[in-house]
Chain A
Amino acid sequence: MDTSNPAVFVNAELLRLYVGPRVRAVIQVLRSDGGVVTGQSTDDNQILVKGSPPSPLSKFVEVVGIADSEKSIHAEIWTNFGDTFETHTYNQLCQLANGEFKHLFL
């Protein structure tokens, strides 16, 4: 069992705090060109995701990777989350998982 490489739940605001370690975020795909996907985070800010997205890409995608800047993630794993997703719920989860209940996750 291994807890050495956790991925932190982030939205755009939390991404700023976690540049460097592994993060995970769910984004709504706005644009996809080349190897860069522009997405809207669960707190309605834009995030760039670099990597090789799967095709077809569904409306919501979870990406797990390394945050290489305050606004972008270099994704290693892409998971299509479908076309319906509760962004508000996920956003609240990000806040809880990094706040009061951080010890359950990291």
Chain B
Amino acid sequence: MFSSSQFESNSAFSGGGFTFSHQSQPSDSDPSPAKSRETQGLVPVTVKQISEASQSGDEKSTFVINGVDVANVTLVGMVFDKLGRNTDVGFNLDDGTGRIGCRRWINENFDTIEMEKILDGMYVRVNGHLKSFKGVKQVVAFSVRPVTNFDEVAFHFIDCIHNHLQSKSQLQGVTPIQPQSVDMSFNTPVKNESTGYQTAPSTQLSGQFSSDGLKSCDQLVLDYLQQPSSIGQEKGIHRDELSQHLKLPVDKIMYSIRALEEEGLIYSTIDEFHYKSTACG
């Protein structure tokens, strides 16, 4: 499990790009503004999107999809033409939008066992690295897992659409929609994501809210502190109370507090956890 080869240790977690995806996907609420998503993790894409991707630089560099650098991808499709060799297993993946060649290097027993279960005509999820070889794009897979619940197929394509929308709105720098209503507008096109896989999409949604809605979070904190009840309290409001009341994570609150403090709109009172608005009631 703790082998030295770089990708195999990741396949044990079958999440691929383990460190990256852990950083960037669930905890999008990192204070760094999400203008450039360098540590992307696994990007859900369709083969069509890959075929349209341009390459920034020469063969060894990353691809650009939706204006964003993409290195590791996740795909869901059907296996065709599986060909097992000594050192690797190659197959074509057809996801309904196109076919792409994939290759899985066999370094350890685990790899052989995983690939043995994969048969032609089977739906699988492939997590891998996008590469170009002699002008032909292919995926070097570090995880190939059979799909058992077929809602995963529908989910994957919805995830691609969601990711596409997210990259597009970040490219524009400013979200074209109000941050408070980002949940609503994302709910309309992908309303049923929640019935299928609740955890991943909702984390991404809240990530979207926190990374693009920094200004509105500041506003929420300020509004709360400027309420007469808050101003009435001499020792100010504890940041945990802010977090509970506004239903925002504490680190987001802290970030807003720092920003507001710098602006001179709030100040700390008895300790670094209590704050009051500088405006008089």
CB of B50 within 8 A of CB of A101, answer no
Name B98's contact: one of A6, A8, A86, A96 (CB within 8 Å).
A6
- Of chain B, the residue at the smallest CB distance from A99 is B189
Question: Which of A4, A85, A89, A92 gathers most chain B CB within 10 Å?
Answer: A89
CB of B192 within 8 A of CB of A105, answer no
Near A by CB (< 8 A), chain B positions 128-155 give 136-138, 149-151, 153-155
Name B149's contact: one of A5, A82, A103 (CB within 8 Å).
A82
CB of A1 within 8 A of CB of B99, answer yes
Interface presence of A13 (CB below 8 A) = no
Complex contacts, B74 vs chain A, CB 8 Å: none
Could you tell me the distance between the alpha carbons of A88 and B194 in the complex, rounded to whole angstroms?
Answer: 12
User: Known contacts being A3-B51, A89-B158, is A60 close to B150, with CB within 8 Å?
Assistant: yes
Chain A interface category by residue count: 20 to 34
- Of chain A, the residue at the smallest CB distance from B138 is A1
Question: Which of B97, B150, B164, B193 gathers most chain A CB within 10 Å?
Answer: B150
- Of the candidate stretches B41-49, B176-184, B224-232, B252-260, the one touching chain A is B41-49
User: Known contacts being A79-B123, A104-B97, is A86 close to B138, with CB within 8 Å?
Assistant: no
As a 0/1 sequence over residues 57 to 82 of chain A, the CB contacts with chain B under 8 angstroms (1 = contact) are 00010101000000000000101011
Name B48's contact: one of A60, A85, A90, A104 (CB within 8 Å).
A104
Name B154's contact: one of A77, A84, A90 (CB within 8 Å).
A90
Interface presence of A106 (CB below 8 A) = yes
CB of B51 within 8 A of CB of A105, answer no
- Of chain B, the residue at the smallest CB distance from A9 is B96
CB of A89 within 8 A of CB of B195, answer yes
Complex contacts, B12 vs chain A, CB 8 Å: none
How many residues of B are counted as interface, with CB atoms below 8 angstroms from the partner's CB atoms? 36
Complex contacts, B97 vs chain A, CB 8 Å: 3, 6, 104-106
- Of chain B, the residue at the smallest CB distance from A3 is B98
Could you tell me the distance between the alpha carbons of A64 and B158 in the complex, rounded to whole angstroms?
Answer: 19
Interface presence of A50 (CB below 8 A) = no
Complex contacts, B150 vs chain A, CB 8 Å: 26, 60, 62, 79, 81-82, 85
Complex contacts, A7 vs chain B, CB 8 Å: 96
- Of chain B, the residue at the smallest CB distance from A61 is B150
Rounded to whole Å, the gap between the CB of A95 and the closest CB of chain B is 9
Complex contacts, B47 vs chain A, CB 8 Å: 1, 3
Interface presence of B106 (CB below 8 A) = no
Interface presence of A93 (CB below 8 A) = yes
Rounded to whole Å, the gap between the CB of B78 and the closest CB of chain A is 8
CB of B99 within 8 A of CB of A2, answer yes
Could you tell me the distance between the alpha carbons of A79 and B137 in the complex, rounded to whole angstroms?
Answer: 27
By a beta-carbon cutoff of 8 Å, the part of chain A in contact with chain B is: 1-9, 24, 26, 60, 62, 64, 77, 79, 81-82, 84-86, 88-90, 92-93, 96-97, 100-101, 103-106
Nearest 9 CB-CB pairings of A with B: A3-B98, A89-B192, A81-B150, A7-B96, A2-B99, A1-B100, A90-B154, A105-B97, A3-B51
By a beta-carbon cutoff of 8 Å, the part of chain B in contact with chain A is: 46-51, 78, 96-101, 121, 123, 136-138, 149-151, 153-155, 157-158, 160-161, 164, 189-193, 195-196
- Further 9 A-B residue pairs, CB within 8 A, beyond A1-B47, A82-B149, A89-B155: A1-B51, A2-B99, A3-B51, A5-B99, A6-B98, A62-B150, A88-B195, A97-B161, A105-B48
